[in-house]
Amino acid sequence: MILVLAGTGDGRDIVRMLADRGKRVVACAATAYGGELLACSGAHVIIDQPLDKNELALLIERFRITAVVDATHPFAEAISAAAAGVCREKGMRYICYRRPALKLPENPLITFAADYQEAAEVAAAAGQVIFLTTGSKNLDVFLTVARAAGRRLVARVLPVPAVLTRCLELGLTAADLVAMQGPFSVALNRALLMEYRASVLVTKESGTVGGADTKVAAALDLGIPVVIIKRPEPPAGAVNNPEEIWKELER
């Protein structure tokens, strides 16, 4: 049995590939919504809740896992570290997949930030209306900085109850919430930026699967500054082609 940590679109594709090729797969996502998206992937078992290191170890024992494929989001450092640690302790194969990095044009409108705090500060200095597309997890950081600077923050987030509840609890109003599941086309990104009169876009360097390419393209088309949070360095030995995962498992 193969355990795939698959909270992304490319993670689901990897689960589907392995299942189609005859592997029995336990697929994990950190949320119930992620679990729903895995429903048609061919996984033998679907886990739809966050797991810590101890829970991962128990899951591996319960299903007699022989290898772990980490296809989590490039920014999901905690679960990747936990999975690598458990595999190291158990002497198991750990295969880390990281989607190819986004190739960005050289443009003076693009600024890179090392973390969420820096991104919030750069965005607040860049314009009156901050269009945030990094999700709800670090929303409080951006709200704190935006409010201190007298800026409007518009957040585009997933349309699921837990996420919307968190946004409202942090004080965002319905007028400043865009609840939609991406990724989106350049045309739709452009339309949203125009509709909300965005003066700066904030995104993560999450690759084309996460829709970062179309967000950036839309903003640049409109002459809007873009703040991009740099992705963490991938673990040593990470692969960026699903076929490499298959080759590793077949060795």
In this prediction, residue 219 carries a pLDDT of: 97
Kindly report the CATH number that applies to the domain delimited by 2-99+233-250.
3.40.50.720
pLDDT (tens digit, 9 = 90+) per residue, 159-178?
Answer: 989 899 999 999 999 999 99
Q: What is the mean pLDDT of residues 234-244?
A: 88
Give pTM, 2 decimals.
0.86
Domain 110-229, architecture per CATH = 3-Layer(aba) Sandwich (3.40)
pLDDT (tens digit, 9 = 90+) per residue, 45-83?
Answer: 999 998 999 999 999 999 999 999 999 988 888 899 999
Distances (CA, A) of 129 to 57, 154, 181: 45, 7, 22
Give me the percent of the chain exceeding a pLDDT of 70: 100
Mean pLDDT, the chain, whole residue set:
92
- As a whole number of angstroms, the distance between CA 164 and CA 143 comes to 15
Residue 101 has pLDDT above 90, yes or no: no
Best CA proximity match to 60, nearest among 147, 52, 11: 52
Q: What is the mean pLDDT of residues 86-110?
A: 90
In this prediction, residue 235 carries a pLDDT of: 80
Residue in the structure block whose two tokens are 């007298």: 150
- Which residues in the chain are classed under CATH 3.40.50.720? 2-99+233-250, 110-229
- As a whole number of angstroms, the distance between CA 129 and CA 124 comes to 8
Q: Which two tokens stand for residue 18?
A: 């392995």
Contact at 8 Å (CB) between 14 and 242?
yes
Distances (CA, A) of 134 to 58, 228, 236: 32, 10, 25
